[in-house]
Amino acid sequence: MSAFRILVLCTGNSARSQIAEALLATRGAQRKRGPVHGASAGSRPAPRVNPFAVEVLALHGILWGDRTPKSIDEVAAEQFDLVITVCDNARDACPIFPGADVQVHWGLPDPAEEQEPELAREAFEATYRALEARITALLALPLGELSAGELRTAATAIHAASPEPEW
């Protein structure tokens, strides 16, 4: 069975999309209903992954310090079963990803906008929890068995049913 492929897009590929990719990489590979491969990219990639993203992932047992943000151009030729945009700018910059069977939007506030370190840590933790809940629900679905319409409906419902992260 081939892996179900999910791409998460954001503007800088330094915070939300990296956290989502890390969750997909760790949880998706261990999925009992078949493996899920996660990737992420940005419409305007930052020079590095946000240190608070790396920190929050480490607090949850995921080592992610060696990653580098990628451009959408680096993954544009690849085929994905599902593309998720996690910020409005990425959705607007890439309203249709050519290699996607299904595309949905899971808009989340940008934790990197917090400037004060303690508030930034809280924002990144809240973002981690929000993405963890959504990805856990997504990975519980019979992904490879759903039609494109069923997948779009289910992934959209997961986001709609999830509370907005608060910090």
**Given 94, 112, 123, 139, which residue is catalytic?**
94
**Confidence band of 32 (pLDDT split at 50, 70, 90):** confident
How many residues are there in the chain? 167
**Given 9, 87, 104, 120, which residue is catalytic?**
87
pLDDT, greater one: 166 or 66 = 66
Answer yes or no: is pLDDT of 137 > 90: yes
pLDDT, greater one: 91 or 24 = 24
**Confidence band of 90 (pLDDT split at 50, 70, 90):** low
Q: pTM, whole model, 2 decimals?
A: 0.94
**Residue 33 is assigned to a structural domain of this protein:** yes
Look up residue 80 and give its amino acid: F
Under DSSP, is residue 105 helix (H, G, I), strand (E, B) or coil? strand
112 in active site? no
Which residues, 6+ apart, have CB-to-CB distance to 116 below 8 Å?
A: none
10 in active site? yes
User: CA dihedral defined by 32, 35, 37, 38, rounded to 10 degrees?
Assistant: -10
27 closest CA partner among 137, 144, 141, 136: 136
**Residue 58 is assigned to a structural domain of this protein:** yes
Is residue 10 classed exposed, middle or buried when 0-12, 13-18 and 19+ CB atoms within 10 A define those classes? buried
Domain with 78 in it = 4-161
For residue 128, the domain's CATH number is 3.40.50.2300
DSSP for residue 77: T
**Given 6, 9, 10, 36, which residue is catalytic?**
10
Least confident range of 64-73, 84-93, 110-119, 158-167: 84-93
**Residue 41 is assigned to a structural domain of this protein:** yes
53-73 pLDDT, tens digit per residue, is: 999 999 999 999 999 999 999
CA dist 132 and 48 (Å) reads: 22
CA dist 92 and 78 (Å) reads: 20
What is the H or E stretch that residue 7 is in? strand 4-10
118 in active site? no
**Residue 167 is assigned to a structural domain of this protein:** no
**Residue 166 is assigned to a structural domain of this protein:** no
**Residue 157 is assigned to a structural domain of this protein:** yes
How many domains, in total, are found in the chain? 1
Mean pLDDT of 98-117: 92
